[in-house]
Structure formats: structure tokens, C-alpha cells
A and B are shown apart, each in its own frame.
Chain A
Amino acid sequence: MLKLLKYLKGYRAAAIAAPLFKIIEAIIELIIPLIVAYMIDHAIADENITLVIGLGALMAGLSCVGLGFSLSCQYLASKAAVGLGCNIRKALYSHLHKLNLGDADRMGTGALVNRLSTDVTQAQQGFAMFLRLMLRAPVIAAGGAIMSIIVAPSLWYIGVSAGVAAFIVLLVVMNAGVSRFSAMQKRLDDISRFTGETIRGERVIRAFAGEKRSKDKFDKALDSHCRAAVAASALSCLLTPAATVIINAAVVVLLWLGGGMVNDGTLSSGDLIALVNYLNQIMLALITTATLMVLISKAISSAARINAVFDLAEDQSGDGAIPDPDAPLVELKDASYSFGGEENAVGGLNITLRRGETLGVIGTTGSGKSTLAGLLVRFYRATEGSVRIAGNNILDYTDEQLRSLVTLAPQKPLLFSGTVRENLAMSGCNDPEKMQDKLNIARAWEFISDKEGLDTPVTQKGNNFSGGEKQRLSLARALLRDAPVLVLDDAASALDYVTEAEVMQSVRRTCRDKAVINISQRAGTIRRADKILVLDGGRVMGYGTHQQLLENCELYRMLSGKTETAGGQA
């Protein structure tokens, strides 16, 4: 939690002033019992009704002053906490867009969104409570103890020991509570994960008659959550009764000893009542803290989760380089990438591609095709060898430069809510004619023209379109970029063969002056490429033209279905 306080920028003054105001209010609160004592010992004892009323009015007046301070505190604390939350959210959001993509994929979007929403809110809430209430409790408790020493110096040990004992209990319980609450939270996460898993698997579970097994497993998760929850709340329920018992034990001691002092005349009745009041105030302060335990422990674990994300490394942009028009557009020299495991995800890539050339990439499942695409747009950085674009190492370009050189159409098309026009305009091109042209090339115009054309609405993530439609829109967007290097990462995989062939043909026609890298599972899609790269398990198995590969690459022959059915022309 402390680590996140650097995001308090702009709200530091509020964060410091808030508890100060609260402390002033607490001190005013501590004066009240003294007035009551004075009222009892002087006004009431002397039967002076005017003085009684005057003192009562003073108490009410002081409370109003206290209210002023506490309202200021509440406002400042709210401002500081909400400001902190917004600052964290903003910093986290921009961090997430710079995050190393391997890490981002591992975390999953759902978890990242949770960090931004639930976790930030909980940290913010905990911080507000900390400013507003947590700091007040020790002040009241310590102040109460000090005041009781002032009232009756000889009885100092009662207030002090009660305060200390209560605080020790508080700390111990809080400490244990935080870990029990996070244990409970983990069990709840299990429930949530298992529910999600089950909903995804509805068909398979029913097909294999696995209902009973799922239920049994879920029952276990529920039971262990229930146990963890009861264990956690047993602790949080303990605080209030414990505080009550400790304080009342002190009251009993006070009554016994104080009674004796009243008898001797060394303590007035008013003072005795004031002492009891102070003890009660200490108790109330502790009880308030008890109710905060859950909130604070949630805030602490949320803060830890947020920090874990902040600790993940960001991708760095290059310093800038000037593209060399004569150099090959794409040049990979012994490039490899590893996700950190022993084996390279893809390795030993040697490719040279000039303007007007097409490279087809085909390979077995998990062969590293998408990793290769990621290398070309710097989503991944080669762990060995180098990737050069237009004569410079890819790492030297600024983000902007690189974007004007390379465009990727991904396998998973990503659309954003808005309209088709807005999605296409992301490419930086706003010309409706060009848009319609590229939509035609990608065979996307046909399914939006009978809707509202370019103004056809797109819902969140483009869910109002089918997978194939989304791919075609995303392809049109990539074409609009008009960058010299175009990477198609299985960009038409959701289309049926008929449509795909049509799309690819028109793409080939429009991209004659570009270097196109076409990655596909389908042999038919890439057979017309100038060069074909065959990948298997991250290794290059063949590199050459369709004819060459048919002759000397066993794997390519198999992938194109030319082994068993050589005569049949499948």
C-alpha cells in the first residue's frame, strides 16, 4: 500500500490536512468529559442552574466547532483518496498499454480490468477509511489515556494499561485477520474460476454426463470457502467484545480505587465520572477500528495485486532511424525468440524480402508462426539474432516510425465499439472513398452495405459481427494503413475457402508494390507466394518456392496434402 502513495501527487496536502483536522476534532471531543466533570463538581454541587446551562451550551458549541473540523477532514480525505485512485488508474492504464505483451497475455485481460476497477476501488476505499477513521482511533485512545492521567495522576496506570492492552489485541487480531481474509478471498476466486470454467464447458460436461462430478467439485470449493469465511469472521467478531471486556475491566478497577479516593477526598465525583467517560471513549474508538478491519485488509491485498502489475516491465521504444529505400524491406538474421522456456518459440529465422515480394509462412500447430508475426511488429523482441526493417534494426525505430513501415492484420480481429467508419479511421485515413475501396477488397462491403454502410454500428469488441466478418473488417483497416510491409497472421482463417480465396486474390492484386508476409494454416492460401517458409516446432523446415519445396521438403508436401492423394488432386 505504501508503494502506491507516490500516486498521491496533487493530493498530498489534502492527505496530510485531513487527519490533522480529524485530530483537532478528536481533541475537542476529549475536552467534553472535562466540562462534564466541572459541571458536576461546581455547577451542580453549587446548585447554579445558569452555570449548568452555560456549560451545556459550551459543550454543544464545541461539538459544532468539532463538526466543522470533521467535515473538512471528510472532504479532504475523500478528495485525497479518490484522487489517489484516479491517479493510480491513469498510470496503470498507460502502463498496461506499454506492458510487455508476453506478460499481458499471461495475466489475461479480465485480470487486468479487475486491477483497474475492483482493486483500485478497494485500495481507494481503504485509504479513505485510513485517513478518516484509522488515524482517529489511536489519537482518541492515546488522548483519552493522557487526559485521564491529567485528571487523576495517581491512577495513571489504569488508562495506560487499558489502552495498551486494547491496542495489542487490536494489532494481533488485525494481523491474523488480514491473512485469514486473503485466504477467504482466494477461496472465493476458486468459486469464481470454477463457475466460469463450468459455463464454458456446458456442452462437454453434458455430453460426458459430468454434471455430478462438477457439482461435487464445486461443493468442495463452496465448503472450503465457507470454512475460511467463518474463520475470518470469527476474528473480526472478536474485536468488539474484546474491547468491551478490556475497557470494562479497567472501569471496575477504577471504580474500586477511585471509590476509595472519593472517600478520602482526593478525587471528586465529577472527576470519577470523567475518568469513566474517557475509558468509554477509548472503547468506542477501538470498536470503530474493528469494523474497518475487513476494508483495510481488502485494500492491502488489492494494493499488492496492483503493485505486482506495476512491477512488470514495459516495452521500450527506439530512438529513431531513417529507413533506407534500397535495403530489403524485411531482413531476419538468425532471429530467435524464446518465452523464457528452454526451447525457442521460434528460432533460426533467415528471411530477406524486398518490395513487391510475397512470403508465405505455413507450419504445424504451435510452430511459431504467430511469434514470427509478433517479431515483425516488435510485439516480441528477438532474444537472439536481429530483425531489420528497411535497413535498420527494428529496435532502433520509434513506435511511430515502425508503424508507418509495418502493418499487422491479426488472426484475432480486434474491433472497438463505435461505427465501422471509426474503426477504419484508426488507420489514420479518413477518406470515405478509400475506405469503401478497401472494404471491397476485403469483401467486407457486401455485408455492411445493406446495413448502414460506413456508419454501421459496432458493439463492444465487434460482437455484432461474425468471426469471418470481423476478420474482413480488420483486414480492410490494415489495408488502409498502406504501409510498405503487410503482415497477415492467419487473417482470413475464419472464412470459408470460397470467400478466403476471393479475398486473397484481391489483396494480392492491390499489394503488388508491398512486401507481404502471409501466414496461414492452409496450403492453398500461400502456394502462390514468391517464397514459402515452412515451420515446425519453432524450427525452419524449408524455405523456397512452391515447386522447390514440393521437391525437397517432406513436411511441405504433407501440409499441402500431396503425399497420399498425389494423383487425386484434392
Chain B
Amino acid sequence: MKKVRKEKFSVISRILGYALKHKSCFIPGMALVIIGTALSLLAPVLTGMAIDSAVEGGTDFSVIARYCVIIAACVAISGISVWTGNILLSRLSFLTVRDIRRELFDKLLSLPLSRIERHSRGDLMTRMTAFGENLSDGLYQGIMQLSAGLVTLLMTIVCMYVMNWAVATLVVLLTPVSAFVSAAIAKRNRVTFAKQSVNMEKMSGLAEEHLSGTRVLRSYGRVEESEEQFAKINRELFKSGLSSQFAGALVNPVSRIVNNIIYAVVAIVGGVFIIGSDPGGWASNIGAGLTLGGLSAFLAYANQFAKPFNDVTSVTAELQTAASAARRIFELTDQADEDKGGTMPVAHPVSGIEFRDASFSYSDKPFMEHITFAAKQGQKIALVGTTGSGKTTIINLIMRFYDITGGRLIFDGNDIENYPREGVRRAFGMVLQDTWLFSGTVRDNIAYGKPDASPEEIRRAADAAHLDKFISTLENGYDTLISGDGEELSEGQKQLIAIARVFLTSPEMLILDEATASVDAMTERAVQAAFADLLGGKTSFIVAHRLSTIRDSDLIVVMDKGHIIESGTHEQLVTAGGFYTKMLRAAE
């Protein structure tokens, strides 16, 4: 328990560390809010004093006028400083969250892939967006309410004691009751809210699954059943939603009733004190005389005094949410970056790549073992095998997305760890089955690997990838905007864009992981021809289902369950009559 609290404290102090980087917002913001709040609290006392100067037949108008001017000045200054203070503090919280988000984003691109792939995409996105929002809300509310709340508290107490110590003591003793009540409600709320969010998650889970499966549900006539399932969760949501909504709605009226009763008590006690405040009365004798204006001020304070208590309790809840959100973010940003790799410069051309009894595992269970094969400069290496046999893992190791866990991987005659990761990656052009397009124009997407390419170069690359016809049907040609997930394009078209991207960079070596899996055979043939031009004398690694595309490879590596079961040229493998031959026959 103590440890948890300590950890929470360290998270909050860390957030404050980020916030303090923006001192130009923090310090003046706090100062303005404090000054503004304090000034606004003078208004009730001054109003009370003005009321006292208004007496039937004996009003001193110059005194009233003076108070009026002072009140007006106080309120105007307070309004302006509270406003600017608030703006500065909200700016502070947004800037702080921006910094933290930036750090998180940088991490997304610098952590080892194995780390990132432990989290689902949804998980990472929640950390970036929803948790970021929680953090900025909590930070803003935290700083604002805590500073304004504490100032209100102190200032009110001081003002009240200056006016009348006895009534002030009464108010100070009574008001915390309201705080206790609202804290108790807030505690209960957390339970109901937790239940509500569990139900919410259930609902989203069902909806996500069943809406993405709507085709199946519709064609199997299961929509009604699914609606019933949904209705059941929906009923649960109604129950938990009602109790959490109502629980949240209790805070206001309950704290108001406590407040109103305090108000009534202050009115009674204040009234009694005024009666006893005649010259020589008992109240005057104990130094606690009270005027009408004083009562008016006390009533105003009694109305406002509960607010800081409530604010402070609600802030603790906000801060807790913010702290746990921050912890989830820091969890990622605290992890060590992928090392940059060695410093040996990558020579051109790379003389070859060789696996020597290499092994690799994603977890404790060994996945790939005894991988041995060599690719000499200029050779075409094909990786074939059933789904899940480890072909893509080989690619991941060559690109240093993952690191071998045993044996050696030789790059240009040295262990691959001696070279910088980026240098190794830049030596390759890579096209994956699962293509990645980003939101931007077709042109931007093709030119991703070479942002300064000329329009002519881009056009040539697109032609080579057989995109010219497709692009000419687009409304704005190369400048047509495509969305991030490229929903409007077919898988094949997406792959062709990714291929054009590689054509443009004309890399030293090439990796094609099912690069044309979604492209029809005819287009594939044409693109292959273009690849052949590009490949002339370049080392390449090709993963393919369609065996016809790799039969001219210098080496065909046949994999199964993380092992190499046979390798050789097409002719050698056909002669051997093993698994490769079986696959060939199936493809017929």
C-alpha cells in the first residue's frame, strides 16, 4: 500500500517535472490565478462594509462611493488575471502533454520491434490519445483547482477571522462536513464507474467482433441472435449506467444541502450575534460584534466555502486518473531504445550474407534453429515453405528488425551486429505482403524512400510497377489523396505502389516478402520483368507462394516449422523429389 502511494507520488512529481519546463506559463499562470482569486474574495467583505454605511437617514455617500470603486477595481483586476492565468495554465497543461506525447511517439519509432509488437495497436493508440487526454485534463484541473482552492480556503478563513472570530470558528468547524460527504460519495462512485466501464468494454468488444463479421451474420441469418446478445449487454449497461450516472449526480445536491444547512446556521448564529452586538452587549464584550454587512459577507462566504473542499476531493480523483494514465505512458517511454548497432561503415557492394547455424526465438520456446545458408553478391535467394514456417522471420533477421538469439549472421564478411542498423536497412529495398501506405498523395507514397525524386523519376518508377494505367484513371492523377489505410485501393494496387516505391530508390539489395501475392499473375509477370531489370547483379531475397516466379533462383531454401528442410537450385530440388516437388505439383 505504501509502495503504491510512493509510486504514485513519483509519477506525479515526474509530470510536474515536465510541466516545469514551461516556466513562462507555470509561474505567471499560478501567480495570476492566486492574485485573481484572492481579489475576488474581497468582494463580499467590501459589499458588507458598503451595506453597513447605508443607514436610514445617515448614509455617508462618499464612503459608499469609495467602496463601490474599490469593489469594481478588485473585480475587474481579478477577472482579467483569473482569465489570463487560466489561459496560461491550460496552455501549460497542453504543452506538457504535447511534450509527453512527442516522447511517446519518438519511442514508437525507436523501441525494438519486439517490444512494440507485444502491444496491440489499439493499446498503443489508447495510450497516445485517451491517456494523453486524461493527463492534460488531470494536470489542468489539478493545478487550477488546487491552487485556486487553497487560496480560496486561506483567504476566506483570514477574511472571516478578521470580521468575527466566533462565527468564523463555527464556519471553519462545520464546512469540512460537506467535504467528508462528497469524498464519501466520490469513493462509492469509483466502484460504480468501474463496473460501468467493464460493461462498456464488453459492449465494444461484441460490437467490434459482430460488426466486422456482419457479412457472416447476415448470410447465416444470425443478426437477430446477435441483436439479442447486444440487447442483453445493453440492459446491463442500463443498470450500471443508471447507477453510475445517478451516483455522479448525487455529489451536487448532497453537498448543496450540507451547504444550505450551514448557511441557515450561520444566519441564526449571525443574527443572534448582531442582536448581542449593541454597545455593551455580550457579543461586543467577547470581541465578536457583528454588523448586518458582516452577516451578509458571512453568508456569501458560507455559500462559497464548501466549494474548495469539494474541488480538492474531486481533484484527487482526477489526479489519480491522470497519474495512472501517465504511468501507462511512462511504461513505454522508460524502455530502452533499440541499440543503433555497430559503427562499421556499410561497403558497396555488400559481398554477401550468410547464416551460420543461426537460431531465433520469439519467447522461451525456440522457434528457428540450425539455419545455415549463404547468399553471395548478385544471387537470387528464394525462401519457400508452408505458412508459418519462418520465411518472414528470416527477412526480419536480415533487416535487423529482430536479432538472432544464437549462431551467427554474417553481413559482408563480418557479424551483422558490427554495422549500424540503419546502414544495413538502407542497403535493402523491401516490399512486404502487408503493404503500408500513409495518408498523402499517391506521389508522396511512391516517393517515400526518396523524397527529393523528380516527377519524371516518379513516373518512371510507377510505369515500371505497372501503375500508369491505374493512376491515369484517378481524378487527380499522382496528386490524388489516399487515406492512411488505403481502403479505396485494392490490395494489389497497394502492393504495386509499394513496389514503385522500391523501384524509385533502386536499392543495393532487395527483399520481396510475398510482394506480389495480391497481384494477378499477368501483372505480376510484367512487374517481375521490371524487377529483373532492376535486379541485374543485385542480391535479392524472395518469399513467394507462386513457385513459377522463383524457379530461376540461384538458391531455393525450403522451410518447415522453423527449419530448413532442403535447399538447392530448382533442378537439384526437382531431382531430389522432396517437399519442393510436392509443392510444385500442388501448384499445377
A32 to B387, CA, bound (A): 78
Segment with Cβ contacts to A, from B252-260, B373-381, B561-569: B252-260
Residue ID in chain B nearest A114 by CB atoms: B204
Query: B54 touching A500 by the CB < 8 A rule?
Result: no
Determine the chain A residues whose CB is within 8 A of the CB of B254 once the complex forms.
Answer: 67
Per-position contact with B for A221-254: 1 when CB-CB < 8 Å, else 0? 0110110011001100110111011001101100
B9 interfacial contact with A, CB 8 Å: no
A460 to B249, CA, bound (A): 36
Query: B72 touching A56 by the CB < 8 A rule?
Result: no
Query: A555 touching B522 by the CB < 8 A rule?
Result: yes
Complex interface residues of chain A between 133 and 149 (CB less than 8 A to chain B) = 133
Query: A426 touching B586 by the CB < 8 A rule?
Result: no
Query: B448 touching A262 by the CB < 8 A rule?
Result: no
Query: B98 touching A215 by the CB < 8 A rule?
Result: no
B318 interfacial contact with A, CB 8 Å: no
Known: A79-B242, A209-B422. A255 touches B525 (CB 8 A): no
Cβ contact of B241, chosen from A86, A264, A377, A426, cutoff 8 A: A86
Per-position contact with A for B30-49: 1 when CB-CB < 8 Å, else 0? 00000010001001000100
Query: A521 touching B47 by the CB < 8 A rule?
Result: no
Determine the chain A residues whose CB is within 8 A of the CB of B67 once the complex forms.
Answer: 255
Determine the chain A residues whose CB is within 8 A of the CB of B519 once the complex forms.
Answer: 365
Query: A263 touching B59 by the CB < 8 A rule?
Result: yes
Query: A203 touching B430 by the CB < 8 A rule?
Result: yes
Residue ID in chain B nearest A206 by CB atoms: B425
Known: A207-B425, A252-B71. A128 touches B245 (CB 8 A): yes
CB distance from B32 to the nearest CB of A (A): 11
Query: B90 touching A233 by the CB < 8 A rule?
Result: yes
Query: A203 touching B113 by the CB < 8 A rule?
Result: yes
Cβ contact of A237, chosen from B75, B87, B238, cutoff 8 A: B87
A381 to B95, CA, bound (A): 51
A128 to B209, CA, bound (A): 30
Known: A191-B101, A426-B220. A248 touches B108 (CB 8 A): no
Determine the chain A residues whose CB is within 8 A of the CB of B211 once the complex forms.
Answer: 96-97, 104, 109, 112-113
Cβ contact of B51, chosen from A101, A264, A273, A364, cutoff 8 A: A273
A90 to B213, CA, bound (A): 18
Query: A117 touching B90 by the CB < 8 A rule?
Result: no
B3 interfacial contact with A, CB 8 Å: no
Determine the chain B residues whose CB is within 8 A of the CB of A206 once the complex forms.
Answer: 109, 113, 399, 401, 425
Cβ contact of B237, chosen from A64, A66, A89, A104, cutoff 8 A: A89
CB distance from A72 to the nearest CB of B (A): 10
Per-position contact with B for A51-75: 1 when CB-CB < 8 Å, else 0? 0110111011001101100110011
Known: A193-B439, A206-B401. A82 touches B53 (CB 8 A): no
Query: A365 touching B267 by the CB < 8 A rule?
Result: no
A481 interfacial contact with B, CB 8 Å: yes
Query: A109 touching B212 by the CB < 8 A rule?
Result: yes
Known: A215-B106, A248-B43, A259-B50. A44 touches B275 (CB 8 A): yes
Determine the chain B residues whose CB is within 8 A of the CB of A36 once the complex forms.
Answer: 267, 299
Determine the chain A residues whose CB is within 8 A of the CB of B230 once the complex forms.
Answer: 90, 93
Known: A109-B211, A199-B116, A230-B90. A245 touches B245 (CB 8 A): no
Query: A414 touching B61 by the CB < 8 A rule?
Result: no
Segment with Cβ contacts to B, from A352-360, A403-411, A542-550: A403-411
Determine the chain A residues whose CB is within 8 A of the CB of B113 once the complex forms.
Answer: 202-203, 206
Query: B587 touching A241 by the CB < 8 A rule?
Result: no
- Of the four ranges (under 10, 10 to 19, 20 to 34, 35 or more), the interface on chain B belongs to 35 or more
Known: A47-B275, A234-B87. A280 touches B303 (CB 8 A): yes
Per-position contact with A for B384-401: 1 when CB-CB < 8 Å, else 0? 011110000000000101
Query: A428 touching B588 by the CB < 8 A rule?
Result: no
Query: B491 touching A276 by the CB < 8 A rule?
Result: no
B56 interfacial contact with A, CB 8 Å: yes
Query: A558 touching B521 by the CB < 8 A rule?
Result: yes
Query: B221 touching A60 by the CB < 8 A rule?
Result: no
A interface: dominant SS: helix
CB distance from A203 to the nearest CB of B (A): 6
CB distance from A38 to the nearest CB of B (A): 11
Query: B50 touching A78 by the CB < 8 A rule?
Result: no
Determine the chain A residues whose CB is within 8 A of the CB of B399 once the complex forms.
Answer: 203, 206-207
Query: B83 touching A229 by the CB < 8 A rule?
Result: no
A454 interfacial contact with B, CB 8 Å: no
Per-position contact with A for B490-508: 1 when CB-CB < 8 Å, else 0? 1111000010010001000
Query: A251 touching B219 by the CB < 8 A rule?
Result: no
Determine the chain B residues whose CB is within 8 A of the CB of A237 once the complex forms.
Answer: 83, 86-87, 90
Query: A63 touching B260 by the CB < 8 A rule?
Result: yes
Determine the chain B residues whose CB is within 8 A of the CB of A414 once the complex forms.
Answer: 212-213, 215-216
Complex interface residues of chain B between 496 and 543 (CB less than 8 A to chain A) = 498, 501, 505, 518-523, 525
Query: A256 touching B121 by the CB < 8 A rule?
Result: no
CB distance from A529 to the nearest CB of B (A): 15
A49 to B268, CA, bound (A): 9
Query: A259 touching B64 by the CB < 8 A rule?
Result: yes
Determine the chain A residues whose CB is within 8 A of the CB of B279 once the complex forms.
Answer: none
Cβ contact of A56, chosen from B53, B268, B303, cutoff 8 A: B268
CB distance from A272 to the nearest CB of B (A): 6
Query: A74 touching B387 by the CB < 8 A rule?
Result: no
B interface: dominant SS: helix
Interface size on A, residues (CB 8 A): 170
Determine the chain A residues whose CB is within 8 A of the CB of B222 once the complex forms.
Answer: 426
B545 interfacial contact with A, CB 8 Å: yes
Determine the chain A residues whose CB is within 8 A of the CB of B200 once the complex forms.
Answer: 117, 121
Query: B75 touching A272 by the CB < 8 A rule?
Result: no
A334 interfacial contact with B, CB 8 Å: no
B288 interfacial contact with A, CB 8 Å: no
Determine the chain A residues whose CB is within 8 A of the CB of B36 once the complex forms.
Answer: 241
Query: B231 touching A90 by the CB < 8 A rule?
Result: yes
Query: B249 touching A74 by the CB < 8 A rule?
Result: yes
A101 to B213, CA, bound (A): 11
Query: B109 touching A205 by the CB < 8 A rule?
Result: yes
A219 interfacial contact with B, CB 8 Å: yes
A39 to B216, CA, bound (A): 74
Cβ contact of B55, chosen from A218, A262, A403, cutoff 8 A: A262
Determine the chain A residues whose CB is within 8 A of the CB of B90 once the complex forms.
Answer: 229-230, 233-234, 237
Complex interface residues of chain B between 217 and 274 (CB less than 8 A to chain A) = 217-223, 226-227, 230-231, 234-235, 237-238, 241-242, 245-246, 249-250, 252-254, 256-257, 260-261, 263-265, 267-268, 271-272, 274
Query: B98 touching A223 by the CB < 8 A rule?
Result: yes
Determine the chain A residues whose CB is within 8 A of the CB of B132 once the complex forms.
Answer: 191
A559 to B546, CA, bound (A): 12
A39 to B271, CA, bound (A): 8
Known: A195-B124, A208-B448, A237-B86. A255 touches B64 (CB 8 A): yes
CB distance from B251 to the nearest CB of A (A): 10
Central interface residue in A44, A55, A467, by most chain B CB within 10 Å: A44
Query: B432 touching A204 by the CB < 8 A rule?
Result: yes
Known: A63-B261, A481-B220, A497-B586. A460 touches B205 (CB 8 A): yes
A20 interfacial contact with B, CB 8 Å: no
Query: A230 touching B91 by the CB < 8 A rule?
Result: yes
A437 interfacial contact with B, CB 8 Å: no
A32 to B302, CA, bound (A): 14
CB distance from B249 to the nearest CB of A (A): 4
Complex interface residues of chain B between 406 and 422 (CB less than 8 A to chain A) = 422
Known: A207-B399, A280-B300. A241 touches B525 (CB 8 A): no
Residue ID in chain B nearest A64 by CB atoms: B257
Central interface residue in B219, B222, B451, B518, by most chain A CB within 10 Å: B219
A sample of 20 cross-chain residue pairs with beta-carbon separation below 8 angstroms, ordered by A number, consists of A66-B260, A71-B250, A75-B249, A108-B487, A192-B129, A196-B125, A199-B125, A201-B438, A237-B86, A244-B82, A256-B64, A262-B54, A262-B56, A265-B56, A270-B292, A277-B300, A365-B493, A428-B220, A561-B548, A570-B551
In the complex, besides A105-B487, A276-B300, 16 extra interface pairs with C-beta distance below 8 angstroms are: A52-B268, A97-B217, A104-B211, A116-B203, A191-B101, A204-B436, A208-B501, A229-B136, A244-B82, A270-B292, A273-B292, A364-B522, A408-B215, A416-B210, A460-B208, A569-B588
